[in-house]
Amino acid sequence: MLLDIKDLHVAIKGKEIIHGLSLQIAEGEVHAIMGPNGTGKSTLAMAIAGKEGYDVTKGDIIYKGRSLLEILPEERAREGIFLGFQYPVEIPGVSLTNFMRTAINETREYKGLPPMPPAEFLKKMEEKKKLVEIHSKLANRSVNEGFSGGEKKKNEIFQMAMLEPSLAVLDETDSGLDIDALKIVANGVNMLKTPQNATIVITHYQRLLDYIIPDYVHVLFEGRIVKSGGKELAMKLEEKGYEWIRND
Amino acid sequence: MVKDKNNIIDEVTQGEYKYGFVTDIEMEMAPKGLSEDIIRFISAKKKEPEWLLDFRLKAYRHWLTMKQPGWAHLNIPPIDFQDIIYYAAPKKQQELSSLDEVDPDLLETFNKLGISLEEQKRLSGVAVDAVMDSISVKTTFQDTLEKHGIIFCSFSEAVQNHPELVRKYIGSTVPYTDNYFAALNSAVFSDGSFCYIPKGVRSPMELSTYFRINAANTGQFERTLIIADEGGYVSYMEGCTAPMRDENQLHAAVVEIVTMDDAEVKYSTVQNWYPGDKDGKGGIFNFVTKRGICRGVNAKISWTQVETGSAITWKYPSCILLGDNSVGEFYSVAVTNNYQQADTGSKMIHIGKNTKSTIISKGISAGHSNNSYRGLVKMTTRAENARNFSQCDSLLLGDKCGAHTFPYIECENKSAIVEHEATTSKISEDQLFYCLQRGIDMESAIGLIVNGYAKEVLKQLPMEFAVEAQKLLSISLEGSVG
């Protein structure tokens, strides 16, 4: 088991948002988490990544056999947890190249490896840029600064490709994308799939799941998983809308 | 779940000052205190001509009539000017003809600082004048420069060997009447660097002065004079460090730059004087007057400074744009942490037609520090079509520090254009978390973000300095986000 979430309760500023969520994810699986706005999807993503202010008040998150609760966010990242942000921030003056080199080399240092040789790093950058059809010039610009909505999301997948995580949590990666960008992003995610890693796709719409085929779909509603099933669940949701869950 | 952020801030903001060592060198010192006798003593020690002693004495007598300025946004404890040693020099008897004759302890000091004089000699690149306390220790590459007609030596040597140049230009840009600390410096200055670029000569290498305060209870009062004659060009760098001491030490320097027609001087500073400890004890009082004058048409002076050190910084590198079409630039990053205080900025005085100036100031405050930008842009009646652009940004790390901006604009010419932009921002938690989530730890994340913020200024620095400055920014600031 790669990730085992047990009866998770998460509160923000004392207000509980997630009320006892359990979820198991094995290597090689793709899980989709769907649900209306404000039901705790992003809160779950932040709690896995360890953002300050998202307090786990009960339950546990076990990743690779180890509780994440006492582990700093940067260490979680170095252990292979990647969060694709819904709203990637701009970091003025820091080039994407410099940012990625720092990220990769700090992770390597944590693992007792020497810094990646510059030639190897640049080769990797080139390879991965092609994967998500990122324009070469973007790599020299500041991280996300002046990027279009689509470029920002592609950039998230690009970083995921560079960092090769064991567990990727993609938070509303489809929001704000036109159909072409959506295909590129989905294609990137599919190409990065291996029998060893797993992906959690958080989405409001079924649309993305036409391109990233999930093994499991979970419906999150008012802080709990209320339904789980195969990809047909997503279809049903699309057809009947979230009202169906509410009335059920 | 996560380590208390305030703890992290405390841990990382208190990075050790790594230049805080003291070298045990035999010193020759004047007795404590300031008087005409002390000034005569300094002048005699340096075998100065009568006119220079006169200059000093006039400055001293004028200083006695002045009061320490109180207008800056600084809290300056009273300074006992009688409790300072005004002359301290590593003992040396004769002129040094090669590095082999330099006191090995002294060489070791500069090696520790990463300013290896030996290295500089072997790797062509930068000519260094090393100043320890009151005395220039050694200037490298003098022979090479001489072939181009460039004079680069200690101020004392210039007084002996080029008295006509010194006499012509000393006090021409910063008169001793200018301000309290300029008057004090004019009275007691001990050494510094002198540089003359003759007509049409571009210096083949970067010139650099490295200032080091070593002795206790001493003040450092160096004086630098740079003249670029018609069409001349030089890029000049200045670095400085001091040992960690519990008492405050005074550094009151004067830098004067003169550029003639089509001449350009680029002056870069990485100021890393000891800032005091985390409780604000000790540290250097850095009260400096830096001014350049573009005397000729198309002349240019560019100041770039990275200010990370000193307990208190009071410093306004300025340009007087006298020649038509002359250009003045000021690029600054000023970092304050713990209890440091900085009141720094620039003055651009436009006199000639079509003169242009640019001010880019990036203040970064952390801990309990206070960081002020203070600047004056003045367009005089003659300054037809003069232009200024100023941008003053402040970045706050934490909620106990302060950032202030005091821009003054005086415009007496209707065709002149003055633009001023200012922003204040904080490093956002979202930016930090974004970095953390990519496996970058808190210290490196702040280093990245701060260096990104200061990039516009850092890219103005010569390559050798830019790397040092980047590291310094990260070290001075790590952490401190709230």
| Residue range B207-260, pLDDT digits in tens | 887 766 666 667 788 899 999 999 999 998 887 665 666 667 788 999 999 999
Q: Are the Cβ atoms of B451 and A163 closer than 8 angstroms?
A: no
Q: Tell me the average pLDDT across B340-362.
A: 94
User: Nearest-CA distance from A73 to chain B in Å?
Assistant: 6
CB pairs A-B closer than 8 Å: 82
Cβ-Cβ contacts under 8 Å for A29 (sequence gap 6 or more): A198, A199, A215, A216
User: Nearest-CA distance from B460 to chain A in Å?
Assistant: 14
Q: Tell me the average pLDDT across B303-324.
A: 91
Contact predicate A206/A241, CB 8 Å: no
Q: Tell me the average pLDDT across B14-23.
A: 59
All residues of chain A having their beta carbon less than 8 Å from the beta carbon of residue B436 are 72-74, 77
Average pLDDT score over chain B: 82
User: Nearest-CA distance from A243 to chain B in Å?
Assistant: 33
> CATH number, domain at A76?
3.40.50.300
Q: Tell me the average pLDDT across B179-194.
A: 91
Q: Which residues of B touch A (CB under 8 A)?
A: 1-3, 5, 428-431, 433-442, 444, 448-449, 451-456
Give the position of tokens 């990519």. B438
Q: Which of B428, B444, B454 sits opposite A89 (nearest CB)?
A: B428
Domain range for A204 is 3-85+150-242
All residues of chain A having their beta carbon less than 8 Å from the beta carbon of residue B435 are 91, 99, 103
Q: Phi and psi (nearest 5°) for B11? A: -60, -50
B439-463 pLDDT, tens digit per residue, is 999 888 988 888 888 888 888 877 7
Ranking A17-26, A103-112, B172-181, B210-219 by mean pLDDT, the lowest is B210-219
Task: Print burial letters for A23-61: b (CB count within 10 Å at least 16), e (below 16).
Answer: bebeeebbbbbbbbeebbbbbbbbbbbbbbebbbeebeb
Answer with the residue of higher pLDDT: A145 or B461.
A145
Give the range with max mean pLDDT: A150-164, A178-192, B393-407.
Answer: A150-164
Q: Is residue A44 part of a domain?
A: yes
Q: Tell me the average pLDDT across B272-277.
A: 77
Q: Give dist(CA B28, CA B101) in Å, integer.
A: 18
ipTM comes to 0.96
> Which tokens is B63 given?
């200083």
Ranking B120-124, B267-271, B299-303, B359-363 by mean pLDDT, the lowest is B120-124
User: Nearest-CA distance from A87 to chain B in Å?
Assistant: 10
Q: Burial of B408 by CB count in 10 Å (0-12 exposed, 13-18 middle, 19+ buried)?
A: exposed
Contact predicate A28/A194, CB 8 Å: yes
pLDDT for the residue numbered B12:
38
pLDDT for the residue numbered A15:
95
Q: Are the Cβ atoms of B449 and A159 closer than 8 angstroms?
A: no
Q: Is the pLDDT of residue A237 over 90?
A: no
Q: Is the pLDDT of residue B119 over 50?
A: no
All residues of chain B having their beta carbon less than 8 Å from the beta carbon of residue A87 are 430
Q: Give dist(CA B267, CA B262) in Å, integer.
A: 16
Answer with the residue of higher pLDDT: B479 or B357.
B357
pLDDT for the residue numbered A201:
94
User: Nearest-CA distance from A122 to chain B in Å?
Assistant: 18
User: Nearest-CA distance from B221 to chain A in Å?
Assistant: 37
Cβ-Cβ contacts under 8 Å for A107 (sequence gap 6 or more): A77, A78, A163, B439
Q: Is residue A208 part of a domain?
A: yes
Q: Identify the closest residue of chain A to B444 by CA–CA distance.
A: A102
Work out the pLDDT band at B426, boundaries 50, 70, 90.
Answer: confident
Q: Which of A83, A94, A104 sits opposite B449 (nearest CB)?
A: A94
Q: Is the pLDDT of residue B114 over 70?
A: no
Q: Are the Cβ atoms of A106 and B441 closer than 8 angstroms?
A: yes
All residues of chain B having their beta carbon less than 8 Å from the beta carbon of residue A110 are 439
Q: Is the pLDDT of residue A73 over 90?
A: yes
Ranking A91-105, A190-204, B90-104, B205-219 by mean pLDDT, the lowest is B90-104
User: Nearest-CA distance from A35 to chain B in Å?
Assistant: 24
Q: Is residue A105 part of a domain?
A: no
Contact predicate A29/A194, CB 8 Å: no
Contact predicate B237/B462, CB 8 Å: yes
Q: Are the Cβ atoms of A77 and B449 closer than 8 angstroms?
A: no
Q: Is B29 helix (H, G, I), strand (E, B) or coil?
A: strand
Q: Are the Cβ atoms of B448 and A89 closer than 8 angstroms?
A: no
Q: By C-alpha distance, which of B193, B199, B277 is closest to B20?
A: B277
Ranking B38-52, B128-142, B321-335 by mean pLDDT, the lowest is B128-142
Q: Identify the closest residue of chain B to A47 by CA–CA distance.
A: B1
Answer with the residue of higher pLDDT: A142 or B214.
A142
Q: Identify the closest residue of chain A to B2 by CA–CA distance.
A: A72
All residues of chain A having their beta carbon less than 8 Å from the beta carbon of residue B437 are 49, 73-74, 77, 82-83, 85
Work out the pLDDT band at B3, boundaries 50, 70, 90.
Answer: very low
Q: Give dist(CA B92, CA B135) in Å, integer.
A: 10
Q: Are the Cβ atoms of B428 and A73 closer than 8 angstroms?
A: no
Q: Is the pLDDT of residue A71 over 90?
A: yes
pLDDT for the residue numbered B279:
79
Q: Which of B437, B444, B452 sits opposite A77 (nearest CB)?
A: B437
Give the range with max mean pLDDT: A134-138, B353-357, B471-475.
Answer: B353-357
Q: Tell me the average pLDDT across B257-275.
A: 90
Q: Tell me the average pLDDT across A57-76.
A: 96
pLDDT for the residue numbered B102:
57
Q: Are the Cβ atoms of B436 and A107 closer than 8 angstroms?
A: no
User: Nearest-CA distance from A182 to chain B in Å?
Assistant: 22
Work out the pLDDT band at A174, boundaries 50, 70, 90.
Answer: confident
Q: Are the Cβ atoms of A89 and B429 closer than 8 angstroms?
A: no
pLDDT for the residue numbered B14:
45
Work out the pLDDT band at B359, boundaries 50, 70, 90.
Answer: very high
User: Nearest-CA distance from A139 to chain B in Å?
Assistant: 15
Q: Are the Cβ atoms of A93 and B454 closer than 8 angstroms?
A: yes
pLDDT for the residue numbered B127:
60
pLDDT for the residue numbered B2:
37
Work out the pLDDT band at B193, boundaries 50, 70, 90.
Answer: confident
Answer with the residue of higher pLDDT: A85 or B208.
A85
Q: Are the Cβ atoms of A94 and B1 closer than 8 angstroms?
A: no
Q: Tell me the average pLDDT across B297-310.
A: 91
Distances (CA, A) of A25 to A30, A83, A226, B105: 8, 16, 17, 64
The total of structural domains in chain A comes to 1
Q: Are the Cβ atoms of B434 and A107 closer than 8 angstroms?
A: no
Answer with the residue of higher pLDDT: B150 or B144.
B150
Average pLDDT score over chain A: 91
Work out the pLDDT band at B418, boundaries 50, 70, 90.
Answer: very high
All residues of chain A having their beta carbon less than 8 Å from the beta carbon of residue B442 are 74
Q: Which of B5, B440, B452 sits opposite A142 (nearest CB)?
A: B452
Q: Is residue A24 part of a domain?
A: yes
Percent of residues, chain B, with pLDDT higher than 70: 78
Q: Identify the closest residue of chain A to B434 by CA–CA distance.
A: A89
Q: By C-alpha distance, which of B298, B271, B273 is closest to B219?
A: B273
> Which tokens is A142 given?
């500041």
The length of chain B is: 482
Residue B137 has a CB neighbour count (10 Å cut-off) of 26
Q: Give dist(CA B91, CA B84) in Å, integer.
A: 19
Contact predicate A177/A123, CB 8 Å: no
Q: Is the pLDDT of residue B69 over 80?
A: yes
Q: Which of B428, B441, B448 sits opposite A74 (nearest CB)?
A: B441
Give the position of tokens 């942000």. A85
pLDDT for the residue numbered B125:
46
Q: Tell me the average pLDDT across B365-381.
A: 91
Q: Identify the closest residue of chain A to B429 by CA–CA distance.
A: A52
> Which 8-state DSSP code applies to residue A243?
H
Q: Is residue A137 part of a domain?
A: no
